[in-house]
Amino acid sequence: MDPEHLAQLEAALGQVTGFIYPNEVELHWSILIVIYPYLTGLVAGAFILASLEKVFKVKALQPTYRLALLTALAFLIVAPMPLQAHLGHPERAFEIFLTPNSASAMAMFGFVYAWYLMVVLLMEIWFDYRADLVRWRQNDKGVMKLVRWLISLGSRDVSPAAVAFDKKAVQFITIVGIPSAFLLHGYVGFIFGSVKANPWWSSVLMPIVFLFSAIVSGISMVLLIYYVTTLLRRKELDMSCLDALASFLFYALIIDLSLEALDFIHRLYESEESIEILEQLIFGKLFLSLTIVQILLGTIVPIVFLAAARFSELPNEMKRMIYFVAAVLVQVGIFSTRWNVVIGGQLFSKSLRGLTAYKLEFGGQEGLLVAIGLLILPFLILALLLKILPPWEDAKTDSSELSEAMTEAEPSEASSLS
Amino acid sequence: MSQNYDRRKFLAELLKFPPATIVLGVIGPVRLLAAAGTDEYEPTEHYYAMGIRVEECIGCGKCVKACKLENDVPDEPYYFRTWVERYIVYTDGEVQVDSPEGGIHGFPPVADESFPPVAAGKEILRTFFVPKLCNHCDNPPCVQVCPVGATFKSQDGVVLVDEDYCIGCRYCIQACPYGARFLDPRTKTANKCTFCYHRITKGLLPACVEVCPTQARVFGEIGDRSTPLNRMMRMSHLEVLKPHMNTEPKVYYTALDGEVR
Ligand code: SF4
Ligand code: SF4
């Protein structure tokens, strides 16, 4: 047996207060399972943001439409990795597809994921980019030409009729996509919400709370990525776009906070047998990550910041900075939200008589290093996607401008690719 | 060894006679067939359950030890298929529960002044021990959540884990309201009490039941009038753990205190 693991269990045993069942010393869902809902939340949120532009015709969000789609894709590619890495037998994961237990919420993961990736996201991106890919290809050389030819599946038709069809297809997929995005993340909420054995998780509100926190996280992430990439490209930030993002973020945060508050008050008022141990949890082990980071820094402060900046006459420079800081805080808050659900739900005993501890490993399969790697990976994938499928407005019509933009951003790589 | 040799020699001698060969050749298969007829286990003819008489348990921990030995449960005190909890109810209503190393070595005495709460002037109202194990729920949440069906309910009412199939996702551990499951650190698969399936299907008792010196553990079948469990179920007031979870446990307790969760 792994001595490091045993030492860790011993340390955990030393930190137990009250009584826990002897098998509960080991905490089973680690930081990797925190990352999983964090990533899928970003996917669903970014996609819903993209849909705002397409379906609800929020024109101000035009500059972030494609960026949001690519962000969703980059995070979606990484989303199953923490799940896979966390399994005791990763090599048996395919059994979920071959012999799924239809009664199991987790067994549906593969299908929900495949549906979302194949039917929604990839299709929408493909139709949206198809005509551009064909046009870009004409000026491409070498690897890039091949890659784009492959991605466009050899498509050639840029006639107005074909482009009109693309548009229609995108519209249609977006409409299918919105409920799918709700499904993707609502489903993750259900995985936790349906565990009746765990009073911290078991709640019908869970999928809805997950959904709104997903929207919050997606909007703020796209805002951050738009901000940073635009600065890196030395372009002007579109202020009306940022304002729109900030407004949506603000409203989503309000709904998110209301739902959380509703959940909290409901529990307090019902005061079931678990209330005592949950109180100990909230005001003890989770005080920092829940009250301070998630609620105060991650929700209330951003709400105040956004309201102050959005609905006042500050200079644009100031506004932008405030939006940026608010979005960063929101990300930190959302990560704690996931932490508080996943880890928090395992810190108390199902005997409701005691608390245990989680000590994050540094190395190892479920350690901090792997977690950090999994959080960086989506950005690397996104960087690659941005090269192959530039989402910028200026890339859309004229490919010469595009290569200029890319040369500006990262001269060495751009030249080697084109 | 020598006996073996003798038998082999005897058979070798016997084979020299053709008629003997024929006789042996017929007897062998016939005996095999007969054996198959009587010994073959038919799961649909059984429906197992366990009774626990809280008032009889003395907290000796022999069952915990026997289980670890019989089922090759890892020694470390984080892995248990069965364990014993001690409840101490004080006169002021406070309840203290402990289960040092699952109770495998018994429990430290409480009645004397060396026990901290007693030393601090608290008076004990009553104490009792509660053996715990997988309840082999009739409506098992662990089976419901397993994504690949590695955890399943067998026809004879025993909830089992197929360790060649388990992917180690640990959803079942989260879903069990009783803390009955652990992840075997060697196989990285879910593990828990099987009612000693390898024994009961041969007509033996589970190891914990076998060693219990006070017969606090009673094994048997539901619906079979002749088992001790059925006598217990007829004569006693029965309780199950966390009935509000609607898991329909098949481990039945007598004299179970409301404090037990
Ligand atoms: S006690 Fe737990 S492990 Fe056993 S059948 Fe019930 S839910 Fe499953
Ligand atoms: S750990 Fe194994 S038995 Fe438990 S739910 Fe996962 S696959 Fe099924």
**A318 vs B29, which has greater pLDDT?**
A318
**pLDDT one-digit tens code per residue, B143-156:** 999 999 999 999 99
Residue with tokens 């248990």, as numbered in its chain:
B80
| B26 pLDDT higher than 80 | no
Residue B58 touches partner A, C-beta closer than 8 Å: no
d(CA A396, CA B46): 71
For A293, half-sphere exposure in the C-beta direction (CA atoms, 13 angstrom radius) is 18
User: In this structure, is the dihedral angle defined by the CA atoms of residues B117, B119, B121 and B125, taken in order, positive or negative?
Assistant: positive
Give domain status of residue A377, yes or no: yes
DSSP letter at B82? E
- Whether A372 and A318 share a structural domain: no
- Same domain, residue pair A102 and A242: no
Q: What is the CATH number of the domain that holds B82?
A: 3.30.70.20
One domain, residues A246 and A387: no
Over residues B60-93, the pLDDT tens digits come to 999 999 999 999 999 999 999 999 999 999 999 9
Residue A230 lies in a domain: no
Burial tier of A401 (Cβ tally within 10 Å: 0-12, 13-18, 19+): middle
More confident residue, B138 or A399: B138
Note whether residue B126 is domain-resident: yes
Any domain includes B6: no
Q: Is the CB of B161 under 6 A from ligand 2?
A: yes
Q: Are residues A153 and A293 in the same domain?
A: no
Which residue of B144, B174, B186 is in closest CB contact with A1?
B186
Predicted ipTM of the assembly:
0.88
d(CA A84, CA A97): 13
The answer on A279 and A313 residing in a single domain is: yes
Q: Strand, coil or helix: what is A9?
A: helix
Same-domain status, A176 and A288: no
Instruction: Tell me whether residues A104 and B146 touch, CB distance under 8 A.
Output: yes
Which domain does B121 fall in, by range?
Answer: 45-254
pLDDT at B184 exceeding the cut of 90: yes
Q: Does one domain contain both A43 and A187?
A: yes
Residue B121 has pLDDT above 80, yes or no: yes
Residue A391 included in any domain = yes
Task: Supply the range of the domain harboring residue A337.
Answer: 238-358
Q: Considering the domain boundaries, does residue B11 fall inside one? A: no
| Res. B115 pLDDT band, cuts 50 70 90 | confident
Domain-located, residue A252: yes
**Smallest Cα–Cα separation from A319: which of A253, A249, A242?**
A242
Q: pLDDT at position A182, please?
A: 87
pLDDT at B24: 46
Ligand 1 nearest-atom number relative to CA B193 = 4
Phi, psi of B101 (to 5 degrees): 50, 40
Please give the pLDDT value at position A216.
97
Helix A316-342 with A301-310: angle, nearest 10 deg: 160
3-class SS at A62? helix
Q: Please check whether residues A63 and A169 belong to one and the same domain.
A: yes
> A280 to each of A261, A276, A293, how far by Cα in Å?
18, 6, 18
B163-180 pLDDT, tens digit per residue, is 999 999 999 999 999 999
Q: How many angstroms does the Cα of residue A2 sit away from the middle of ligand 1?
A: 27
Distance CA B99, CA B78 (A): 11
Each residue's pLDDT expressed in tens, for chain A with a length of 418 residues:
688 888 889 999 999 999 999 999 999 999 999 999 999 999 999 999 999 888 888 899 999 999 999 999 999 999 999 999 999 999 998 888 888 998 998 888 888 888 888 889 999 999 999 999 988 988 888 888 888 989 889 888 888 899 999 999 999 999 999 888 888 888 999 999 999 999 999 999 999 999 999 999 999 999 999 999 999 999 999 999 999 999 999 999 999 999 999 999 999 999 999 999 999 999 999 999 999 999 999 999 999 999 999 888 889 999 999 999 999 999 999 999 999 999 999 999 999 999 999 988 888 888 899 999 999 999 999 999 999 999 987 776 544 444 444 444 444 443 444 3
pLDDT band, residue B35 (cuts 50/70/90) = very low
Nearest CA residue ID for atom 5, ligand 2: B146
What pLDDT is attached to residue B31? 46
Looking at residue A401, its pLDDT comes to 42
pLDDT at A56: 85
Report the interhelical angle of A123-139 vs A62-78 (nearest 10°): 110
Q: How confident is the model at residue B225 (pLDDT cuts 50, 70, 90)?
A: low
In a domain, B35, yes or no: no
Kindly report the pTM of this predicted structure.
0.88
Q: Is the CB of B50 under 6 A from ligand 2?
A: no
Residue A412 in any domain: the answer is: no
**B260 in any annotated domain:** no
**Buried b or exposed e, range A357-385, using 16+ CB within 10 angstroms:** bbeebeeeebbeebbeebeebbeebbeeb
Alpha helices in chain B (DSSP H): 2-15, 18-39, 62-71, 116-119, 141-145, 171-175, 197-200, 207-211, 228-235
Nearest CA in chain B to A3: B185
Which of A23, A87, A105 faces B145 most closely, judged by CB atoms? A105
Question: What are the chain A neighbours of B175 within 8 Å (beta carbons)?
Answer: 195, 197
pLDDT band at B39 (very low <50, low <70, confident <90, very high): low
For strands B48-53 and B217-221, give the pairing. Answer: antiparallel
Give exposure, A16-41, as e/b (b: 16+ Cβ within 10 Å).
eebbbbbbbbbbbbbbbbbbbbbbbb
- What does the alpha-carbon distance between residue B41 and residue A42 come to, in Å, rounded to a whole number? 53
- B200: tokens are 């009961």
Mean per-residue pLDDT, B117-134:
90
The reply to whether A340 and A381 lie within a common domain is no
Helix (H, G, I), strand (E, B) or coil at B83: strand
In a domain, A94, yes or no: yes
Specify the residue with its C-alpha closest to ligand 2, atom 8. Answer: B146
Nearest-atom number in ligand 2 for the CA of B149 is 8
More confident residue, B52 or A137: B52
Ligand 2 atom closest to Cα of B173?
4
Q: CB neighbours of B47 closer than 8 A, spacing ≥ 6? A: B156, B157, B221, B222, B223, B224
Contact B78 A22 (CB under 8 A): yes
**Chain A closest-CA separation from residue B220 CA (Å):** 26
Q: Are residues A352 and A373 in the same domain?
A: no
Answer yes or no: is A1 within a domain. Answer: no
Q: Are residues A86 and A183 in the same domain?
A: yes
Distance between CA atoms of residues A119 and A100, nearest Å = 21
| Residue A219 located in a structural domain | no
| Ligand 2 binding pocket includes B171 (Cβ within 6 Å) | yes
Which amino acid, B92?
D
- Categorize the per-residue pLDDT at B224 as very low, low, confident or very high, splitting at 50, 70 and 90: low
Residue B216 in contact with residue B53, Cβ under 8 Å?
A: yes
Domain count for chain A: 2
Distance CA A235, CA A230 (A): 5
Domain tally, chain B: 1
Which pLDDT score is estimated for A143?
87
* Contact check, Cβ <8 Å, A88/B80: no
> Smallest CA–CA separation between B92 and chain A, in Å?
17
